[in-house]
Chain A
Amino acid sequence: MMRFATLIKNPADWMKGAGPHSEIVMTSRVRLARNLRGFPFPGFSQERQRIDLMEQARPVVEDLPEMRDGYSEEYNGLSKIRKQVLVERHLVSREHAARSSGCAVVVDRRQSISIMINEEDHFRIQGIRPGLNLHSAYELVDRVDTELSESLPFAFDAKLGYLTACPTNLGTGMRASVMLHLPALVLTEQINPVIKAVGKIGLAVRGLYGEGTEALGNLFQISNQHTLGEAESEIIAQIEKVIEGVVRSEQNARAKLREDHQTMLNDQVGRAFAILRYAHVLASKEALNLVSMLRLGADLDLVGNCDRSLLDMLLLEIQPAHLQLAATRELAPEERDGMRAEITRVRLQSIDGPGNFPPSQTTSGGPPSAPPNE
């Protein structure tokens, strides 16, 4: 099995690869909630029962062909910072990280599949893919679920479907969610009508780290709320259709920014680059919002030599737990802000800011709207 350090050193598959609409859709995730018959749900079981279940189920999970050479860890042996790093990587939920004894997580080598043991349900099986690709994320978890069901007796009712601790997950036990980067809809103040329209269809809109989190860095998660009464494929098809619509709105808003608000756009991207490139103190929220602007600049070719995956990786590196892991100790918030700025300055060295672009080969520095020169 893989060590924690090895897991974290490598970027996840979804960070490296691109998928459909990856300039706007960062990831597609699907998770299935599953429980064992005859065991109380984790929230209502004794510690001994949770440990017993974990000790029996973990080897079964580790033996999955998908999990060969993967990472598997019991929460008792895992520090708070390491657990938080897993949260920041979207490999475990905040709720799961808050638990300890009797909990475990198993992650595949490519960081595309993670299985939480004793979250709110006995098993939470998650698949994650880059871009708008819920079908492919579902295929990952569907296969794992089928394999596990051969040796684990999942609680299932012919009428109610998969039985889950919370009735909101009943039926398919499936939550399909898409992480979207929507800076232009925010800048053009069109985000609220879009959220309203999405909400009307029965989908939920949340912030960066799931339930109850703020929409930092113009990142929004859209997911299904209904899990009973519709088949998995119908739920996924509906979300993908809605997301296609949101993507089109964002594309239109970007085009509008470029055509009608060129100066404002250049100014926003330029300021973001300048601060990120030269600041010595960067608070988390500020950094996320500026990186969002820079990402928009990269998408619209306003900055040069700026690979989207570099920014996605930076977005993770500057999160509190990642910073503390790199420092190998707990850091006070002010120390974190200093370190965040330092890492950001270094990572942005190779980027050609707006105004300097196209890069120095051109003698006079081209106009900000010059096409990329790759």
Chain B
Amino acid sequence: MKCDVCEKEATVFLTQIINGQMTTVNMCEECSKAKGVTEETGFGLAEAFLTPSQRAGDSAEAVCDACGFTASQLKKIGRMGCPECYTAFREGLDGLLRNMHKGTRHVGKRPGKSVAAPQILPRQRAAVAREISAGLKPPPGLPPPADVNKLRADLDQAVKEERYEDAAKLKAEIERLQTKSPSK
């Protein structure tokens, strides 16, 4: 089977249902990567995720306090960083969930006793406490969220003092840090 794009031997086969019609796309390794077919990310999922202000926005970007995950990362990969992210990125979530699911309220199984009083393993309890108190650290290669926050404060300060050249530099730096995707 030949790749639909470049005629090389196809190794990636994508079957999609679009408007109820099954279509099959055959691609070689390189073309599938170039088209983002084999990426683990949600396809355009995150686009729907952010409110218009967040999509355009650079200044008031939402960040999860627990893990440092940012709205732009969410937009990019379409996944949350940690369970707490659902609180941090609550805004706009209902609209998205309504499109995605039958409802916006869970009606199924609940963890029995573990909601009220979870039995945490001793080591784990320590780990949870440690992680929560330290603020979960992002993986290597990502900016520590504190840095972005500090840069943002500096940016506000620079704007206030009308040091626009500094402000532009800070803004560029913040954008650079935030568009770095988490390492796979």
User: Which residues of A approach B to under 8 Å, CB–CB?
Assistant: 35-41, 43-47, 49, 52, 56, 60, 95, 120, 142, 145-146, 149-168, 170-172, 174, 191-192, 195-197, 199-200, 202, 204-207, 212-215, 226-232, 285
B interface residue count range (under 10 / 10 to 19 / 20 to 34 / 35 or more): 35 or more
Q: Which of B106, B124, B136, B182 has the most CB of A within 10 A?
A: B106
Check A167–B103 contact: CB distance below 8 A. Answer: no
Instruction: List the 5 shortest-distance A-B pairs measured between CB atoms, nearest first.
Output: A229-B103, A161-B106, A196-B20, A153-B118, A214-B13
Is B164 interfacial (CB 8 A cutoff)?
no
Check A229–B83 contact: CB distance below 8 A. Answer: no
**What 10 additional pairs, Cβ within 8 angstroms, besides A46-B140, A199-B17?**
A38-B127, A44-B81, A44-B82, A157-B106, A172-B109, A191-B22, A205-B22, A212-B38, A226-B100, A227-B101
With A46-B139, A226-B101 in contact, is A196–B80 under 8 Å at CB? Answer: no
Is B128 interfacial (CB 8 A cutoff)?
yes
Is B131 interfacial (CB 8 A cutoff)?
yes
With A41-B81, A199-B20 in contact, is A228–B109 under 8 Å at CB? Answer: no
Tell me if B's interface is mostly helix, strand, loop or mixed: loop
Check B82–A167 contact: CB distance below 8 A. Answer: no
Is B159 interfacial (CB 8 A cutoff)?
no
With A40-B82, A214-B15 in contact, is A56–B121 under 8 Å at CB? Answer: yes
A95 touches which of B40, B105, B114 (Cβ 8 Å)? B40
Give 16 A-B contacts (CB < 8 Å), ordered by A residue: A39-B127, A40-B138, A46-B139, A156-B111, A158-B106, A159-B106, A163-B86, A170-B101, A171-B101, A171-B108, A195-B20, A196-B21, A212-B37, A231-B108, A232-B109, A285-B1
Check A195–B79 contact: CB distance below 8 A. Answer: no
Q: Which of B40, B93, B101, B140 has the most CB of A within 10 A?
A: B101
Residue numbers in B under 8 Å from A202 (CB-CB)? 102
A41 touches which of B79, B96, B104 (Cβ 8 Å)? B79
Beta-carbon contacts of B123-165 to A below 8 Å, as 1s and 0s?
A: 1100110011000111110000000000000000000000000
Residue numbers in A under 8 Å from B3 (CB-CB)? none
Q: Which of B40, B81, B82, B93 has the most CB of A within 10 A?
A: B82
Is B110 interfacial (CB 8 A cutoff)?
yes
Q: Which of A120, A158, A206, A228 has the most CB of B within 10 A?
A: A228
Check B139–A44 contact: CB distance below 8 A. Answer: yes
Check B100–A37 contact: CB distance below 8 A. Answer: no
Check A41–B109 contact: CB distance below 8 A. Answer: no
With A43-B40, A46-B139, A149-B114 in contact, is A168–B108 under 8 Å at CB? Answer: no
Residue numbers in B under 8 Å from A40 (CB-CB)? 67, 69, 81-82, 136, 138
Residue of A nearest to B102 (CB): A229
Residue numbers in A under 8 Å from B100 (CB-CB)? 167-168, 226, 228
Chain A proximity of B72: nearest CB distance (Å): 13
A39 touches which of B37, B49, B80, B128 (Cβ 8 Å)? B128
Cα–Cα distance between A158 and B13 once the two chains are bound (Å): 39
Chain A proximity of B24: nearest CB distance (Å): 6
Cα–Cα distance between A319 and B109 once the two chains are bound (Å): 37
Residue numbers in B under 8 Å from A151 (CB-CB)? 119, 121
Cα–Cα distance between A214 and B127 once the two chains are bound (Å): 42
Residue numbers in B under 8 Å from A215 (CB-CB)? 15, 22, 24
